Chain A
Amino acid sequence: DVKVTQSSRYLVKRTGEKVFLECVQDMDHENMFWYRQDPGLGLRLIYFSYDVKMKEKGDIPEGYSVSREKKERFSLILESASTNQTSMYLCASSLVNGNSPLHFGNGTRLTVT
């Protein structure tokens, strides 16, 4: 069974801090994604990656960056955290591309104070 692991379940950070959210998958999936989940807004795509060192912007990339140095790991970076980035962050992976089932991690609930 695919396992997608997010390093933290809960994080509390201060405004202006640099924040790293880590995600690791163990099924050799090519594709990895970062979504943000907010009530009433569903899941919104921040960034995704089809291959190592490759990244593409999603619908809400502003204030975020990503890193994919190894196939199994996809990191989301908040360069300078702001209160409007308080949210649930979900990492996901898929075997083929976005046109196939996603396997999600458990999520990281980030609070920026």
Chain B
Amino acid sequence: GENVEQHPSTLSVQEGDSAVIKCTYSDSASNYFPWYKQELGKRPQLIIDIRSNVGEKKDQRIAVTLNKTAKHFSLHITETQPEDSAVYFCAASKNTGRRALTFGSGTRLQVQP
């Protein structure tokens, strides 16, 4: 089955700096790659997603890039703010066979004011 690896497990940046979280996946049939943000004590919430027919997607300070050949995708957060502090999860799924998201192990991002 699908295996998603996520790095780093923890990341500390200064406010205003950029943060990058990287994920790799194993199943070349995967074609949907969402990112979820989980604040302390709250549910995971979708912040951005990308499908395999697109190489990059942006939404204000957040961007996701996808390299299908290398089977990796990354989350980029620019101009980080303290409210970006949270745990971020990447995930992957496909629209054939088992159509359920497989998640990475998570990255705890700490933005220092």
By a beta-carbon cutoff of 8 Å, the part of chain A in contact with chain B is: 33, 35, 40-45, 48, 50, 56, 58-59, 90, 97-102, 104-107
Contacts and interface: CB of A to CB of B under 8 A. Distances in A.
A42 B95 contact: no
A90 B43 contact: yes
| Ranked 7 nearest A-B pairs via Cβ | A98-B100, A98-B99, A97-B99, A42-B105, A43-B103, A104-B43, A99-B95
Contacts of B99: 50, 97-99
Interface in B19-68: 31-32, 34, 36, 42-46, 49
Interface of B: 1, 6, 9, 31-32, 34, 36, 42-46, 49, 89, 91, 93-95, 98-106
Contact of B101 (A40, A98, A105, A106): A98
A59 B99 CA distance: 13
B102 A107 contact: no
B43 A101 contact: no
A99 B89 contact: no
A50 B102 CA distance: 16
Contacts of A35: 103
Given A42-B6, A43-B89, A44-B103, A102 B43 contact: no
B100 A33 contact: yes
B98 to A, nearest CB: 7
